[in-house]
Amino acid sequence: MQRLCACRIGRHRVFVVPPWTQGSGLSWSCPGSRPVPQLLAYEPVGPGSAPLGVMSGQCELNTQGTYYGTVSSFAEEVRRYWDEDSLYYDDVSHHHPVRPAEQAAWQAALAEVLPPEPSRVLDCGAGTGFVSLMAARLGHMVTAVDISSAMLERLKAKAGEQSLNIEVLEGTAEDPPDGPFDAVVERHLLWTLPDPLKALRAWRNVAPFGRLVLVESIWGEVDPLEALRGRARSLLAHLRCAKPEHHAPYPGSLRGQLPLASGTSPDVLAGLVSSAGWVSPQLKRLRDVEWASSLGLRWPERLIGVSPRFILHANSAPSHS
């Protein structure tokens, strides 16, 4: 009978078969439907050796020996993807618009929903700094947070070139820095989170009297008409041999754990915002941004247009204890 090494990763138990019973290979399985992080390395040590931690648990093989491994967690896989993507991210025009008309349209949209300057603004999932830089140019005191150090390095370089003072912190969106902040902003971040509601609640905690600003767009399969337009854009981009939007498709092992992986619906986002304790959510479509963006398109892309952009903003409901 084979003895198995069991360890817990998140909500799952991973079972590792001793290599001396499986030749030179390492096999493992996980009960349940969700994928588990990949076990990248292992090394046998002598029987009775003290087990080393694997993620939040231990990996121990009774009297046969102890195994330990380098486990790629969800956060580590996300960080690795965006670190690699940082080399290409700004090459895509709608990731980092540079045309003056688009910049002006975005600046006006952001100025309308942020509190009066100078306010303390937290930009979660700041990436290479599109929103952070705009908020700083508007006169706000900006703290930029992202899981990718490579993305943040590009943000810091841009801030230096523009003589802007932005506090840059590496971290996850679900664990924001202590506030209080006057506003929390994100742009196209929520779909990448396994628990967007948890993040929205955490942001409210660090902005107890502040404002939430979600900068989003309609994409994916949330609207049949926009999905059809999206497929048309993808076809034209393929025919023109255009640069891909990212260095690689988002890993399926990550996408399968994301409740918003199929797109960001305004209805769903508004519901999440209210459930997180933010009050009076308001939806604003960014038609000026769409118009300014479409001016830079060629035919027939301009006929198809750009995906609808919108801002969903709300105020924090102060806690009364």
Residue 203 lies in a domain: yes
Q: State pLDDT tens for residues 75-107.
A: 999 999 999 999 999 888 888 888 999 999 999
Q: Of the residues 26, 47, 72, which one is the last residue of a structural domain?
A: 72
Same domain, 60 and 100: no
310 in any annotated domain: yes
38 neighbors 16 (Cβ within 8 angstroms):
no
Q: Does pTM surpass 0.85?
A: no
pLDDT tens track for 105-150: 999 999 999 999 999 999 999 999 999 999 999 999 999 999 999 9
Q: Give the residue numbers spanning the domain of 241.
A: 77-316
Domains in the chain: how many in total?
2
pLDDT tens digits for range 16-51: 434 333 333 333 333 333 333 333 333 333 333 233
Q: What is the torsional sign of CA 124, 128, 131, 134? A: positive
- What is the rounded distance in angstroms from the CA atom of residue 168 to the CA atom of residue 149? 10
Same domain, 191 and 263: yes
Q: What is the DSSP letter of 192?
A: G
Evaluate whether residue 189 is within a structural domain: yes
Residue 252: how many other CB atoms lie within 10 Å: 10
Q: Is position 321 within any domain?
A: no
On whether both 159 and 275 belong to a single domain, the answer is: yes
